[in-house]
Structure 1
Amino acid sequence: MATETALIDWLLETDPALRWQVERDLAGAPAEVWRATRARVGTEGFGERLLALQDADGQWAGGAYFPGDLDFTGPEAAEGAGQPWTATTWSLNALREWGVDAALLSGTADLLAANSRWEYNDLPYWGGEVDCCINAYTLANGTWLGADVSGLAQWFLEHRMADGGWNCEWVEGSTRSSFHSTLNSVKGLLYHEAATGGSAELREARRSAEEYLLERRLMRSLSTGELVASWATRFAYPFRWFYSVLNAADYFRAAALLDGTRPDPRLADAIDVIRAARLPDGTWLQERRHPGRVWFEVDVPAGEPSKWLTFHGTRVLDWWDEASRG
């Protein structure tokens, strides 16, 4: 892309699920324009296709977190095969993140309350289970669909680690927070807070977890200062549950906008990584694909310029650079 205008034009040639966000956050389109595009997400393209795949009982693929037909002893569940991404939780995550109007899923919250149980201990859907990432998705999805998830919000207060974050392996005895688990948890808490106003306790927990990530510059060991792992600086879309500094920086942008604060200077290392990954034409490459069954592809194969990653990367750098100029 030779110019910024060309880059925006390229990004706009896409499904309404992404286009409305480009219009709002990068192109500076009037509210009536991007809202009209957002209203199309549930009636065409990715959103329409995924809505049509919902089961009569309110679920997708017959399961809460995994498809109902998954053989947990078969090749699809083997190490390296990747988990399937077709079940209810992943489908709701996508629809919510794409901006689908919750009214198009009228009755879904009640259907899931009646028909969906977690694969872990057959627990009821809106009550969550023991995995913080799953509970964060459920908190956000329940808030979006109008389910009673107040108990799940309280769960995060009760299961926070002493270092400020969360770890999905707490049930296995872990006492140290995880980058992945902490990011997914604060994303769910932020969505809930933005929609409901939250509470002082939940806000303090969210900010404490943000501090956990910021102290580590979003990617470094607190004790050694070394990069925690290569996954922190590898970018892939959809983000799924995987941590990356791009996924995290995009969260911190959203949190700062909700809180009315400037970017924290401790994000600088992560911003440098994101900027370095941008190609001369302004795009970011899809660096890998998360293996596993999907309903349909929403982004390009590994090695090709990704519109989704380019949108997120451009949005983060624009936010950071604008604050730096101010």
Structure 2
Amino acid sequence: MTVQNWLLEGDPAIRWQVLRDLTDAPEDAVVAERARVATKGWGARLLSLRDPDGQWAGGACFPGSGWDGTGGQPWTSTLPTLDLLRLLGLDPASPQARETVALVAENCRWEYDGSRFFDGEVEPCINGRTVTIGAYFGADVDGIVQRLLGEQLADGGWNCEAENGSTRSSFDTTIGVLEGLLAYERAGRGDERVAAARQRGEEYLLERSLFRRKSTGEVVVPSYLEFSFPPQWHYDVLRALDHVREVGGTPDPRLDEAVEVVRGKQQPDGRWLLEHTHAGAVHVELEDGDGLPSRWSTLRALRVLRWYDAAQSSSGGAKRASDSTDGTV
């Protein structure tokens, strides 16, 4: 079995993205497979667990105590579940998505102060994800975007600890905000200020080669080099590279080291492993466990390398073989 065939044996959420990103399949085939996310597999399971009022687990982010008793944050509330449905590729135009978003807008409130879900919370790490969700599903998140623009720090990024006096940005917070701003632009709501803020935030990461301290060159956090899915609010280099791929264009040379980190983690059979599952209760298990082959890591790594190597090839560089899906599993 080739890597591509192994990927295509996965859930519809995997299949449609493989067809789009790795095989250049006809658009009608991609659309047809994507439509199955709402009715089959993981996507259908998540939708079936929705409360009648449109929420999951009865709250926005931290219903009840906010923790699952095992040392992890529960990933079963409305924010992480909607974000996962986005990552799975639930079509925003589907009846299931439209109904859910309308109910969330009407009924879901932040535990912090009772504000409506799409009006945002106070922490930029939460607000960045909320913008991503809202922009993807067609909700009005203009107010949150304006707040985030005003919270950008002098070094170009964002940090949830800014309210406690921090003046240094956080990789974890920054990537969430960047994804939100890009989704907002892609939804046709951005302007020059939004684009400029996003580019400043991306520069913050590029100045640090996506994972190093600017001051010493040391790796900021070892787990930034470990791949997880879903990433939740956590940063890693594959997540950052997938964002840069989404932005498109010619890869910045400062990405090279991070790309080689990804390339170096490919297994002899052509796949990548799941390395760092974030502790906490979940609605559905998407992978077999840390240290085992991961369809999500493999899909995301291959599409990053495909973009990067194609750009290098077009500019005269040699195309590397490690983005091939022909390996035997």
With the shorter chain as reference, the TM-score category is: over 0.9
CA positional deviation for 1:238 = 1.5
Aligned pair partner of 1:201 in 193, 214, 229 = 193
Q: How do 1:210-249 residues align onto structure 2 when only pairs under 5 Å count?
A: 210-249=202-241
Name the CA distance, whole Å, in 2 between partners of 1:317 and 1:249.
Answer: 9
Name the CA distance, whole Å, in 2 between partners of 1:180 and 1:169.
Answer: 11
CA positional deviation for 1:65 = 0.7
Name the CA distance, whole Å, in 1 between partners of 2:257 and 2:136.
Answer: 33
Name the CA distance, whole Å, in 1 between partners of 2:300 and 2:48.
Answer: 27
The equivalent residue for 2:52 is 56
- The one-letter code of the counterpart of 1:246 is L
The equivalent residue for 2:65 is 71
The equivalent residue for 2:9 is 13
Aligned pair partner of 2:121 in 100, 125, 129 = 129
The equivalent residue for 1:32 is 28
CA positional deviation for 1:39 = 0.9
* Equivalent position SS for 1:253: helix
CA positional deviation for 1:291 = 1.0
Q: How do 1:146-295 residues align onto structure 2 when only pairs under 5 Å count?
A: 146-256=138-248, 261-295=249-283
The equivalent residue for 2:311 is 323
CA positional deviation for 1:173 = 1.6
Name the CA distance, whole Å, in 2 between partners of 1:297 and 1:194.
Answer: 30
Q: Deviations over 1:140-169 (max 9, x none)?
A: 222233322111111111100010110111
Name the CA distance, whole Å, in 2 between partners of 1:146 and 1:243.
Answer: 25
- The one-letter code of the counterpart of 2:158 is W
The equivalent residue for 2:324 is none
RMSD: 1.4
* Equivalent position SS for 1:284: coil
Is residue 2:129 matched to residue 1:141? no
1:108/1:145 contact within 8 Å kept:
no
Higher relative contact order (CA 8 A, sep 6+): 2
Name the CA distance, whole Å, in 1 between partners of 2:176 and 2:254.
Answer: 20
- CA distance 1:107–1:40, change in 2 (3 Å): closer
1:47/1:98 contact within 8 Å kept:
yes
Name the CA distance, whole Å, in 1 between partners of 2:250 and 2:30.
Answer: 25
Name the CA distance, whole Å, in 1 between partners of 2:158 and 2:276.
Answer: 26
- The one-letter code of the counterpart of 2:16 is W
2:59/2:78 contact within 8 Å kept:
yes
Q: TM-score, normalized by length of structure 2?
A: 0.91
CA positional deviation for 1:77 = 5.0
The equivalent residue for 1:87 is 77
Name the CA distance, whole Å, in 2 between partners of 1:37 and 1:107.
Answer: 21
CA positional deviation for 1:37 = 0.2
Unpaired stretches in structure 1, ≥5 consecutive residues: none
Is residue 2:37 matched to residue 1:41? yes
Name the CA distance, whole Å, in 2 between partners of 1:226 and 1:270.
Answer: 13
* Equivalent position SS for 2:28: helix
1:285/1:303 contact within 8 Å kept:
yes
Name the CA distance, whole Å, in 2 between partners of 1:142 and 1:322.
Answer: 32
The equivalent residue for 2:91 is 101
Name the CA distance, whole Å, in 2 between partners of 1:52 and 1:195.
Answer: 27
- The one-letter code of the counterpart of 1:84 is P
Unpaired stretches in structure 2, ≥5 consecutive residues: 315-329
CA positional deviation for 1:177 = 0.5
Structure 1 runs of 4+ aligned residues shifted over 4 Å read none
Q: Percent identity?
A: 48
Say which is worse superposed, 295-304 or 118-127, in terms of deviation. Answer: 118-127
Name the CA distance, whole Å, in 2 between partners of 1:98 and 1:115.
Answer: 24
Name the CA distance, whole Å, in 2 between partners of 1:215 and 1:15.
Answer: 37
Say which is worse superposed, 119-128 or 246-255, in terms of deviation. Answer: 119-128
CA positional deviation for 1:52 = 1.1
Aligned length: 312
Q: Deviations over 1:210-249 (max 9, x none)?
A: 0000000001110111111101111111111111111111
* Equivalent position SS for 2:38: coil
Name the CA distance, whole Å, in 1 between partners of 2:232 and 2:189.
Answer: 26
Q: How do 1:108-127 residues align onto structure 2 when only pairs under 5 Å count?
A: 108-127=100-119
* Equivalent position SS for 1:136: helix
CA positional deviation for 1:197 = 4.6
2:175/2:235 contact within 8 Å kept:
yes
